[in-house]
A and B are shown apart, each in its own frame.
Chain A
Amino acid sequence: MTPETMIRARVVGGGFDTAADEMSATVTRTARSPIFNEAHDFTTGIFELKDGKARLVAQAPGCTLHLYAICPAVQAALDCFRNDLHPGDLILASDPYDGGTHIPDHVIIQPVFADRKPVFFPVVRAHFADSGGPVAGGYNPAARDIWQDGVVVPPIKLYERGERRTDVFDMVLANNRVPDWLLGDLDAMRGACLTAQARIERIVGRFGIGETRAALETNIAYAERRVRAEIASWPDGDYYAETFIDHDYQGGHDIRVACTARVRGSDVTFDFTGTAPQVNGFVNSPIANTLSFVFVAIASVIDEDVPVNEGYIRPVTVIAPEGTVVNPLPPKPVGNCTCICGAEIAEVALLALSQCAPKRVGVNCHKLPLAYSSGRYEDGKPWISLNFHGYTGGAGAAYGTDGWGLYPPLMTGVILPSIEMNEMQYPIRIEKHEYERDTAGAGRWRGAPGVRTRIRFLAENITNAMLAGVRHPTRGFCGAEDGPPNALTLIEEAGRTEVTEVIYNRHLAANTAIEFLRGGGGGWGSAADRPVDEVVADVANDYVSAGKASEQYGVVVDTTALEVDQGATDQRRTKMARSQPG
């Protein structure tokens, strides 16, 4: 490869990356729902049609759990309209059993033509505030089939040859509780695709379609080389791990998710054989979601400067037996899959990789205490709130760093909306949102502390709340402790109710509050190896109590002077070392 080729590849690739970034900015600045413009729960990317297959060529940083899920969704849409695509078409899709994940995550796809053929496809994948169905917001813990999750949207054209199909558009809006938001959001998504189209056409106009595609191939090959190099650095072998889903909200408990990471040279296969059969509740993960969460795990062990494109995906194979919780058959419900069992899929993949690439794994976290509330503003218009602040916290540690930040790293580009904006947009007050002492998984590097959040509703509403990560909280790696469990409490005038699994369609009066305890992240490595001064700093910062410093880390701290009792500490740590296996 000549330097000129390499430079051109980067220029073209950079152009596509920038177009994807610009799509993202367009959605943020023009969308109407807070989930888009505040929380950024969407991802943008550009695909290329090659040999009848859609392949990812550029993706903007967005919601990481959309990472791979876009790919099968685009393929499904192209399969539906293989000989029926025109410039100006715009396709909407969200079908969990045909390339989708859970129903709220819809994709918008627009073909961009070059040489009279559809070649590129700007795509936006985004979480709609509502998707019809029995429960506002799309998380129905009582769901036992896909129709109880919401309205399934197989690929359907919203625009044809640049003309809006008003009847189709109206039908899509009619099956949504917040059509005003959705209308603005769909326009924003289309605007993003049109922006990308203009950028793509400029690039193709400058370099020609042949050179452009060759440059993209170079970028894909580069990403593949980088990922393969990383995998090749791991010792060949079969690495088995398992974890468990607490419950499926339909009476099923301790549902096994098993994974063998099979490393052979520069290829890795994640084999989920041994995973529990599909369940009745809405924690099943359709195959696109399973693939996506495997790539969430992969992304966390690959250098962040590797471009996310088809090359990223090529060295990885996923085996997910049909009829299991990681590849269910229709019509099993899947509404919660982007939380549970997505969390467990990423977790078990990381646990498997921790055996061959221990210094690469970390930041495990996604077992959320989830609560959805909906009601009506004083003018009668509906609101739907994800209660985003309740999910915050819980990041696991990684080699070389404690768990950090407030928001789950898996969500990456998803931004925690400001409390002020949330209180303006919804009839709520966020009375508490703070780290909780002694809620981080201990380790050489500890998890981020848990966060306690109390949200008080100023207006009556209907709330569904789903607890996860209690019996099987977020796991630590390489000898570290797991994160503590999550908790959910309903605070009504009549008293406090601890949620054990779920509250379903509960009518809450004004002035009711819901309190989330998001357990902290799991640690990495043995807690006994954590330097004493770092434990003291944690005590000083009130992340860890003196009692837990002694119990978990073997560091005895005088809390008044914040000084270490070195003798007692040596004694305690020696005792801890003796009790450790091996």
Chain B
Amino acid sequence: MTDIQRQILSSRFAAIAREGAEIFARMARSPAVIDEGQYACAILDSSGRLVAQEQGEPSQLAAVQATVAWLIDAFAFDIAEGDMILTGDPYCGGTVCGALTLTLPVAHDGEIAYFVALRFTCPDLAGDVPGVFQPDAHEIWQEGLRVTPVKLVRANAPERDVRRYILKNTRAPEHLDGDLSTAEVAAHRVADRLQAMLASRGADPVREAADYRIAHGRTRMAGHLASLAGGAGEATAATIDATVRVTVRHDDDRLAIDFSGSSPSSETTANLTRAATAAVVLTQLAAEVIEDTGLSQGILDAIDLALPEASCVNAAFPSAVSLGWRHIAPAVSSALARAVHRAPAFTVPPPLVVLFPEIGASPTSLPLVVSPGFRPMANTAGGDAASGRRRLISAEQTELDGVLSLLSRQFEGDDISAEVAIRQSGIEGVIVPGAGHEPDIVQDAPLSRNRSNVLAFQQGARIRFVYPERREERP
């Protein structure tokens, strides 16, 4: 096979993954997917090596491969064509409860040749508060259902009781059911494309192209890493008492990143799993390579992470983790940036409110994640790298479901401010901590609290968000 043929097939993997992601994103029902870009589609080989991945935002970067590797170990030789496996557990290669990965083995000549994985965040997976953010949690069971690797389909027969179990433990069953079905469709499309490629090109050339793709990523990554400085960095989380310490050192063509000395796991939700920390590292240190060549195992393998057990960057089971991305990820990004003398990719996350119908008032509810702006930065457009494909919701869409009115959204000097009003009665919500500037809430009656951070909003209550200008941080 010529280099050009290898390159064509290699690109074909990327195109197939992109097609799977597009199919999913266009058909999915959940706002987290549509508006926030919280999805990914990946192709892995039979050993669980990542061949190609397309993702909507960076928290998915390392979790797909880690999750698939985990489930391959979990099922060992009990995976066959016709199976479909669902996984959604921070302690099985994941990031947060509610981020689900649907994995489909693709067989060729009777052997599993590839895996297709669709990952997405669902609107709710039980837990203490509607939605995936659990401000009061201190252990994983409070954050939602743990979906350890489980077969949704076995030998082409749907495991209806398993699906029923999952759907019984969400406040938004129609959305989750729809997204699961969409993920199945997208995964099958990717599998069909792979089968077609295998049929037309043969297994060996395709395998060779996959190896080439991984090797290419590794080569590009090595060249990129060589351009990075080594050193040590430290950053303190802006919103909680946690410090991230990091040492970056070159080790041949790899980068060894040691987080020794970072704060221990928090008893709050401010913890990152191993896969989440790896995603921050990749975003901070390899975004340009990923953007250029697409993510592959070659890129993942170029970085050695030393993550102390039971630390804020490698949470100890059963620590809660739902707010690690908001609290700890910016600190990881900052510490790394200082170590390698670059600007941090992540900044303090945007102010966020999750609204939902009064808990218990309706049999289903779709949490509404509200953050109607972004932190501006001179000479750039949109949010920071952590925002991925998150899009700014239009005023019309903000008001579409009748819960909110967007009263204003405008520059105030170098900052952006936005204000919304709640149009319905019986709305509750939580302010998701982690932003440097928490939203201000204006209403006549006090916000009642029900032994938790849940707030009761009045009809007409106003929520004002301020997004301060991002200033480029240079070490």
Q: Which residues of A contact B (CB under 8 A)?
A: 80-81, 95, 132-134, 136, 141-142, 144-145, 147-148, 151-157, 166-168, 170-171, 174-175, 177, 250, 280, 329-333, 504-505
Decide if B142 touches A134 in the complex (CB within 8 Å).
Answer: yes
Q: When the two chains form their complex, are residues A157 and B141 in contact, meaning their CB atoms are under 8 A apart? A: no
CB contact between B126 and one of A95, A147, A174 (< 8 Å): that residue: A147
Q: Kindly list 17 other residue pairs between chains A and B, CB separation below 8 angstroms, not including A152-B126, A332-B360.
A: A95-B168, A134-B142, A144-B360, A145-B360, A147-B171, A148-B128, A148-B359, A152-B169, A154-B164, A155-B164, A167-B149, A167-B150, A170-B74, A174-B89, A250-B450, A280-B360, A331-B363
Chain B 10-31 near chain A by CB (<8 Å), digits 1 or 0: 0000000000000000000000
Number of inter-chain CB pairs below 8 Å = 94
A175 touches B145 (CB 8 A): yes
Query: Once bound together, how far apart are the Cα atoms of A331 and B361, in whole Å?
Result: 7
Query: Given the interface contacts A142-B450, A152-B169, A174-B146, does A133 sit within 8 Å of B126 by beta carbon?
Result: yes
Interface string of B85-118 (1 = CB under 8 A from A): 1000100000000000000000000000000000
Report if A167-B142 is in contact (Cβ < 8 Å); known contacts: A151-B126, A154-B164: no
**Cα A264 to Cα B149 with chains together (Å):** 56
**What are the residues of chain B within 8 A of A156 when measuring CB–CB?**
161-162, 164-165
**Residue contact B142 to A142, C-beta cutoff 8 Å:** no
Give the CA-CA distance A152 to B359 in the complex, in Å: 17
Task: State A457–B150 Cα separation when bound (angstroms).
Answer: 39
Contact B145 A154 (CB under 8 A): no
In the complex the two chains form, is B161's CB within 8 Å of A175's CB? no
Query: A134–B149 Cα gap in the complex (Å)?
Result: 22
- Residues of B close to A148: CB separation below 8 A: 128, 359
Q: Chain B: which residue is nearest A249 at the CB level?
A: B451
Partner of B142, one of A80, A133, A157: A133
A residues less than 8 Å from B74 (CB atoms): 167, 170
Q: Which of B78, B127, B148, B165 contacts A170 (CB 8 A)?
A: B148
Q: Determine if A171 and B148 form an interchain contact, defined as CB atoms under 8 angstroms apart.
A: yes
B151 CB–A CB distance under 8 Å: yes
The contact of B145 among A144, A151, A168, A177, by CB within 8 Å, is A151
Query: Contact partner of A171 among B150, B168, B359, B363, CB < 8 A?
Result: B150
Residues of A within 8 A of B137 (CB): 134
Given contacts A147-B127, A153-B165, A155-B161, contact A174 B363 (CB under 8 A): no
Q: B141, B150, B151, B169 — which one has the most chain A CB atoms within 10 A of its CB?
A: B141
Say yes or no for B411: interface residue by CB 8 A criterion: no
* B147 is an interface residue with CB less than 8 A from chain A: yes
Q: Does B452 contact A (CB under 8 A)?
A: yes
Bound-complex Cα distance A488 to B13 (A): 65
Please give, as numbers and ranges, the residues of chain B lying within 8 Å of A152 by CB-CB distance. 126, 168-169
Chain B residues with CB under 8 A of A154: 161, 164-165, 168
Q: Are A134 and B148 in contact (CB under 8 A)?
A: no
- Residues in chain B near residue A170, CB distance under 8 A: 74, 148-150
Question: How many Å from the CB of B347 to the closest CB on chain A?
Answer: 32
Contacting A80 at CB < 8 Å: which of B85, B149, B161, B360?
A: B161
CA distance A156 to B166 in the complex (A): 11
* A139 → chain B closest CB, angstroms: 13
Inter-subunit contact A144/B359 (CB<8 Å): yes
Contacts of B75 in A (CB 8 A): 167
Q: Which residues of B contact A177 (CB under 8 A)?
A: 139, 141, 318
Contacts of B358 in A (CB 8 A): 144
Q: DSSP majority for the B interface? A: loop
Type the 1/0 row for B119-147, where 1 means its CB is closer than 8 Å to any CB of A: 00000001110000000010101100111
B164 contacts A175, CB within 8 Å?
A: no
Q: Which of A81, A142, A280, A331 contacts B451 (CB 8 A)?
A: A142
Q: How far is the CA of A80 from the CA of B159 in the complex (A)?
A: 12
Residues of chain A with a CB closer than 8 A to B362's CB: 331
A-side binding surface: helix, strand, loop or mixed? Answer: loop
Check A151–B360 contact: CB distance below 8 A: no
Interface size bucket, B side?
35 or more
Are A133 and B450 within 8 A (Cβ)?
no
Complex CA distance for A300 and B145, rounded to whole angstroms? 40
Do A174 and B148 touch (CB < 8 A)? yes
Contact among B139, B161, B360 with A157 in the assembled complex (CB-CB below 8 Å): B161
Please state if A134 and B141 are interface contacts (CB–CB under 8 Å): yes
Could you tell me the distance in whole angstroms from the C-beta of B133 to the nearest C-beta in chain A? 14
26 A-B pairs, CB-CB below 8 angstroms?
Answer: A132-B141, A132-B145, A134-B141, A144-B359, A145-B360, A153-B165, A154-B161, A154-B164, A154-B165, A154-B168, A156-B162, A167-B74, A167-B75, A167-B85, A167-B149, A167-B150, A170-B74, A171-B147, A171-B148, A175-B146, A177-B139, A250-B450, A330-B363, A331-B363, A333-B360, A505-B451
Chain A residues positioned under 8 Å from B165 (CB to CB): 153-154, 156, 171
A134 to B136, CA, bound (A): 10
Whole-angstrom CA separation of A144 from B450 in the bound complex: 9
Q: Which residues of A contact B142 (CB under 8 A)?
A: 133-134
- Contacts of A155 on B, CB cut-off 8 Å? 161, 164
A152 to chain B: closest residue by CB: B168
Residue interface bits B265-304, CB-to-A below 8 A is 1, else 0? 0000000000000000000000000000000000000000
* Chain B positions within 8 Å of A504 at CB level: 451
Q: A152-B168, A154-B165 are in contact. Are A134 and B89 (CB under 8 A)?
A: no
Scoring A157, A167, A504 by chain B CB atoms within 10 A of each residue's CB, the highest score goes to A167
Is there contact, CB below 8 Å, between B169 and A151? yes
Q: How many angstroms between the C-alpha atoms of A331 and B450 in the bound complex?
A: 17
A151 vs B97: C-alpha distance in the bound complex, in angstroms? Answer: 14
A157 to B164 Cα, complex, angstroms: 12
The answer on a CB contact under 8 Å between B128 and A134 is yes
What residues of A have a CB within 8 angstroms of the CB of B89 in the complex?
174
A156 → B minimal CB distance (Å): 4
Please give the distance in Å from A519's CB to the nearest CB on chain B. 26
Give complex CA distance A377, B318 in Å: 15
- For B126, what are the chain A residues with a Cβ–Cβ distance below 8 Å? 133, 147, 151-152
B96 to chain A, nearest CB (A): 15
Complex: chain B residue closest to A382, CB-CB: B318
Assembly CA distance A136 to B137 (angstroms): 12
Complex Cα distance A54/B150, Å?
A: 30
Whole-angstrom CA separation of A81 from B164 in the bound complex: 12
- Listed from nearest, the 6 A-B pairs whose CB atoms lie closest are A144-B360, A147-B126, A142-B451, A145-B360, A134-B128, A144-B359
Chain A residue at minimal CB-CB distance from B137: A134
Given A133-B126, A151-B169, A157-B161: A145 touches B359 (CB 8 Å cut-off): yes
Shortest beta-carbon distance from A159 to chain B in Å: 12
| Nearest CB on A from B130, distance (A) | 8
Shortest beta-carbon distance from A253 to chain B in Å: 16
CB distance from B426 to the nearest CB of A (A): 12
A443 to chain B, nearest CB (A): 39
Q: In the complex, which of the residues B75, B85, B363 has the most CB atoms of chain A within 10 Å of its own CB atom?
A: B363
B363 in contact with A147 (CB, 8 Å)? no
- Say yes or no: A171 contacts B146, CB within 8 Å: yes
A166 and B151 CA atoms in complex are apart in Å by 10
Q: Are B363 and A168 in contact (CB under 8 A)?
A: no
A2 to B450, CA, bound (A): 65
Give the distance in Å from the alpha carbon of A330 to the alpha carbon of B362 in the complex.
8
On chain A, the residues within 8 Å of B139 by CB distance are 177
Q: Which residues of A contact B85 (CB under 8 A)?
A: 167
**Smallest beta-carbon distance B128→chain A, Å:** 4
Q: How far is the CA of A51 from the CA of B303 in the complex (A)?
A: 64
Complex CA gap A128/B358 in Å reads: 29
